[in-house]
């Protein structure tokens, strides 16, 4: 038995094949056509594992684009999927922090990988991948460079949580000749503060897994871990956690 999990997010589309173990794990850009991206990721995953489509007994969709594909046997929200995926990778996980392109979530998980509670950021982009992207844009660096810049720097104070206001604040800092490194560190601190606020709404344990593509950024992970006072466990491929959770649910159904 093989199950597929397809996570169609705002920036990346992920596909995982699972048969008790991970058989394939693929990321493609979502672009402007979430449907095509979903099918493409699925096809690539099949190729990679050498499995025929007919042998896949269940396809579970998640992410914002989950409504767009008719091939899904079932659709599950990314909140439930991230909890399942994180629990599979690290069974001792009791909290999951997921920073996605458009929203961030703090999820508390029970010993079976089921969601106990969750909190999500409200309407604005503060504390999301979008915020990071805007800030990297202002500094004219890539996301990876943003992480490298921040290493060892003393964080500059960025008080605005709102992406629009923080943007002008950062421009102001640059104009006053502030060092890019400390601005980058300040940006990470600002996000960490926002996540901390979110985490205050659910019971946060000491066993926290960080999922979502933003978690590839080590500096951000450590900044958030420090501000929450916990050790953050970052999976090898944090962006795949949602698709993995979806595949596991298909496998178990």
Site string for other proteins, 46-85 (x = CB under 8 A): ------------------x-----------xxxxx---x-
CB of 56 to other proteins, least distance (A): 18
144-148 contacts, C-beta under 8 A, 24 or more apart? 144/217, 146/184, 146/187, 146/217, 147/184, 147/217, 147/218, 147/219, 147/220, 148/219
18 binds other proteins (CB under 8 A): no
From 222, 168, 216, select the one nearest 191 (Cα to Cα).
222
CB closer to other proteins, 76 vs 136: 76
Nearest to 45 by CA among 18, 72, 78, 63: 18
Q: How far is CA 225 from CA 33, 119, 188, in A?
A: 35, 18, 11
**Is 115 among the residues that bind other proteins (CB under 8 A)?**
yes
Q: Of 40, 98, 103, 169, which one interacts with other proteins (CB under 8 A)?
A: 103
Q: Is 5 in the site for other proteins (CB under 8 A)?
A: no
| Cα–Cα distance, 170 to 19 (Å, whole number) | 47
Q: Does 111 contact other proteins by CB under 8 A?
A: no
32 binds other proteins (CB under 8 A): no
Q: What is the CA radius of gyration of the chain?
A: 18
CA 224 to CA 192: how far, in whole Å? Answer: 5
Q: Is 112 in the site for other proteins (CB under 8 A)?
A: yes
Instruction: Give the count of residues interacting with other proteins (CB under 8 A).
Output: 22
How far is the C-alpha of 183 from the C-alpha of 249, rounded, in Å? 41
Interface with other proteins (CB under 8 A), residue from 122, 140, 152, 176: 122
Name 15's bridge partners. Answer: 6, 26
Residue 189 as a binder of other proteins (CB under 8 A): the answer is no
Least gap, CB of 211 to other proteins (angstroms): 15
116 interacts with other proteins by CB under 8 A: yes
Least distance CB 65 / other proteins (angstroms): 11
Q: By CB under 8 A, which span of 15-23, 24-32, 219-227, 245-253 interacts with other proteins?
A: 245-253
How many residues in the chain? 253
114 binds other proteins (CB under 8 A): yes
Q: Which two tokens stand for residue 153?
A: 């720097």
98 lies in the site for other proteins, by CB under 8 A: no
Asked if 206 interacts with other proteins (CB under 8 A), we say no
Q: Does residue 131 bind other proteins (CB under 8 A)?
A: no
- Torsional sign, CA 114, 80, 105, 17: positive
Binding site for other proteins (CB under 8 A): 64, 76-80, 84, 102-103, 112-118, 120, 122-123, 249, 252-253
């Amino acid at each position: 038995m093989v199950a597929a999990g397809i996570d169609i997010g705002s920036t990346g589309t992920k596909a995982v094949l699972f048969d008790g173990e991970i058989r394939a794990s693929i990321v493609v850009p979502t672009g402007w056509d979430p449907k095509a991206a979903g099918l493409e990721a699925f096809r690539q995953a099949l190729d990679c594992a050498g499995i025929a489509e007919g042998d896949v007994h269940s396809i579970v969709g998640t992410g914002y684009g989950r409504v767009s594909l008719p091939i899904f046997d079932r659709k599950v929200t990314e909140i439930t999927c991230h909890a399942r995926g994180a629990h599979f990778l690290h069974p001792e996980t009791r909290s999951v922090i997921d920073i996605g392109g458009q929203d961030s979530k703090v999820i508390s998980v029970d010993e079976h990988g089921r969601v106990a509670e969750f909190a999500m950021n409200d309407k604005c982009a503060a504390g999301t991948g979008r915020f990071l992207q805007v800030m990297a844009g202002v500094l004219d660096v890539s996301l990876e460079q943003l992480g490298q810049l921040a290493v060892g720097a003393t964080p500059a104070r960025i008080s605005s949580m709102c992406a629009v206001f923080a943007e002008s604040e950062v421009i102001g800092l640059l104009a006053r000749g502030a060092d890019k490194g400390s601005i980058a560190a300040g940006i990470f601190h600002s996000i960490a503060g926002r996540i901390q606020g979110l985490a205050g709404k659910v019971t946060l344990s000491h066993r926290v897994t960080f999922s979502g593509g933003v978690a590839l950024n080590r500096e951000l992970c450590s900044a958030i871990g420090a501000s929450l006072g916990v050790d953050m466990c970052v999976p090898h491929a944090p962006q795949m956690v949602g698709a993995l959770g979806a595949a596991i649910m298909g496998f178990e159904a």
